[in-house]
Amino acid sequence: MAVLALDSLGTARPAQRETAGPDAIPLIRVEAGLRGTVRFENVSKTYRSAAGEVFALDDVCLDIACGAIFGIIGRSGAGKSTLLRTVNRLERPTSGRVLVDGEPIAALGTDGLVALRRRIGMIFQHFNLLSAKTVRQNVALPLTVAGVGKAEIAHRVEEALRLVGLEDKAETYPSRLSGGQKQRVGIARALVSDPEILLCDEATSALDPETTVSILSLLRDINRRLGLTIILITHEMSVIREICTNVVVLEAGRIAESGPVWRVLGTPEHPATRALLAPLTRDLPEDLAGRLTPYPTPGSRAVLRITYSGRTPPDLSTLVAATGGPVHLLQAGIERIQGHAVGHLLIAAAGTEAEVRLRAIGETVERIGYVAADD
């Protein structure tokens, strides 16, 4: 309980997690193990509208481990935003429980809720900075309302601004900042009270691609350095691929698919996942697609797609040996996600045996069709 009590005052430092070293007493180790975890138990949320009941969330069960970068993806209206907001009780589930650090949050009174929210930072798509306050005042607000002393506030605001690289903008008003800088201020404000969980609500959706990359790498950096759990929602699979360790795909308020990112991206099973992945997947080149024939013609070559979703990257020499003849690489897209090779190769190989032999050495092969020899 010692660690949790410290947290509720908002004064515990992230270094707390490292106290589970050789000297740490077992009690603290148990608490430390739950710090920064979120658990959803059969969480449902229904809204009453003119058209009847709307299920925003339908029986969601989910465990988020400490230190994870957990992505929640889905199309708009899938319920991601509602799910995220149940973590700091900006939304209350209609049924089911949400546990933060193993503690159910539904029963918390005002004081308990305020203490909980001080342990959970949140950043927003449209930044939600106060226009009447300077960057410094914005970042200081969580501490000001918590009654932290002036000197302590000054010190921690300085530290938070340094972390996001905006020390020189402290006296500026948010309207003078670029989108990326505003989001950095948002991140500093979320981190200034040393939270153990950071909620990101479409944090990069209003930013250009370059800024998105820099904000995502900042988030990854924060996750590594401070060890805090990040839960982010997005509708872009590229964000998930960029920084997440785990992902859950929501579709119409239900979990369509969940797991480590490499597995969900490598072998998507649900149509919703595939649809979300579409912008990242390379289609069959158009000129090739136009000339594919479903049946072999004399001298034609088989077009094969070899899919990778495992730890081992493609071994080219084995592939060539297995095809046993001329082989052309038509298209390739292999990525390394969390140490796993994920993607596919598109090859053209002579003869019908190539496919069989590739299967025999354990490759996942799909025959797309045939092309004439002169391709």
Partner 1 sequence: MSPQMIDRLWQAAFDTLFMVGVSAAIAFLAGIPLALFLVTSEPGGIFPAPRANRLVGMVVNGFRAVPFIVLLVALIPFTRLVVGTTIGVWAAIVPLAVSATPFFARIAEVSLRQVDPGLIEAAQSIGCRRRHILLHVLLPEALPGIVGGFTITVVSMIGASAVAGAVGAGGLGDVAIRYGYQRFDTTVMSVVIAMLIVLVCLVQIAGDSVVRRLRAR
Q: For partner 1, give the closer residue by CB, 198 or 371.
A: 198
Task: Please name which of 352, 134, 109, 125 lies closest in space to residue 233, comparing C-alpha atoms.
Answer: 125
Contact partners, residue 77, CB within 8 Å, separation at least 6: none
| CA–CA separation, 149 and 307 (whole Å) | 58
Cβ(152)–Cβ(102) under 8 Å?
no
Span interacting with partner 1, options 127-135, 320-328, 333-341, 365-373, rule CB under 8 A: 127-135
Cβ(334)–Cβ(262) under 8 Å?
no
Regarding 121 and contact with partner 1 (CB under 8 A), the answer is yes
Q: For partner 1, give the closer residue by CB, 200 or 288.
A: 200
Regarding 5 and contact with partner 1 (CB under 8 A), the answer is no
Q: For partner 1, give the closer residue by CB, 60 or 122.
A: 122
The interface with partner 1 within residues 186-205 (CB under 8 A) comprises 189-190, 193, 199
Regarding 131 and contact with partner 1 (CB under 8 A), the answer is yes
Regarding 268 and contact with partner 1 (CB under 8 A), the answer is no
Q: For partner 1, give the closer residue by CB, 128 or 211.
A: 128
| CA–CA separation, 355 and 304 (whole Å) | 7
Task: Please name which of 195, 201, 3 lies closest in space to residue 117, comparing C-alpha atoms.
Answer: 195
Q: Which of 12, 20, 122, 207 binds partner 1 (CB under 8 A)?
A: 122
Span interacting with partner 1, options 14-22, 56-64, 126-134, 221-229, rule CB under 8 A: 126-134
| CA–CA separation, 325 and 323 (whole Å) | 6
Q: Least separation, in Å, of the C-beta of 94 and partner 1? A: 17
Q: Which of 6, 9, 24, 145 binds partner 1 (CB under 8 A)?
A: 145
DSSP 231: E
Q: Least separation, in Å, of the C-beta of 216 and partner 1? A: 21
Span interacting with partner 1, options 28-36, 121-129, 318-326, 355-363, rule CB under 8 A: 121-129
| CA–CA separation, 334 and 357 (whole Å) | 22
Q: Least separation, in Å, of the C-beta of 47 and partner 1? A: 13
Q: Least separation, in Å, of the C-beta of 336 and partner 1? A: 35
| CA–CA separation, 132 and 137 (whole Å) | 9
Contact partners, residue 45, CB within 8 Å, separation at least 6: 55, 56, 57, 79, 82, 86, 91, 92, 93, 94, 253
Q: Torsion over CA of 121, 127, 128 and 131, rounded to 10 degrees?
A: 120
SS3 151: helix
Regarding 130 and contact with partner 1 (CB under 8 A), the answer is yes
Regarding 132 and contact with partner 1 (CB under 8 A), the answer is yes
Regarding 120 and contact with partner 1 (CB under 8 A), the answer is yes
Q: Least separation, in Å, of the C-beta of 312 and partner 1? A: 43
Q: At what angle do helices 353-360 and 316-323 cross, to 10 degrees?
A: 140
Q: Least separation, in Å, of the C-beta of 161 and partner 1? A: 16
Q: Least separation, in Å, of the C-beta of 134 and partner 1? A: 8
The interface with partner 1 within residues 32-91 (CB under 8 A) comprises 88, 90
Q: Least separation, in Å, of the C-beta of 229 and partner 1? A: 16
Span interacting with partner 1, options 129-137, 220-228, 245-253, 362-370, rule CB under 8 A: 129-137
Strands of 246-251's sheet in order across: 120-124, 197-201, 229-234, 69-74, 246-251, 254-260
Per-residue tokens: 4: 């949790």
The interface with partner 1 within residues 313-332 (CB under 8 A) comprises none
Identity (one letter) of the amino acid at 226? L
- x/- mask, partner 1, residues 284-303, rule CB under 8 A, reads --------------------
Triad 366, 339, 34: Cα angle to 5°: 120
Contact partners, residue 56, CB within 8 Å, separation at least 6: 45, 46, 47, 79, 82, 253
Q: List residues binding partner 1 (CB under 8 A).
A: 10, 88, 90, 110, 114-115, 117-118, 120-122, 124, 126, 128-134, 141-142, 144-146, 173, 175, 189-190, 193, 199
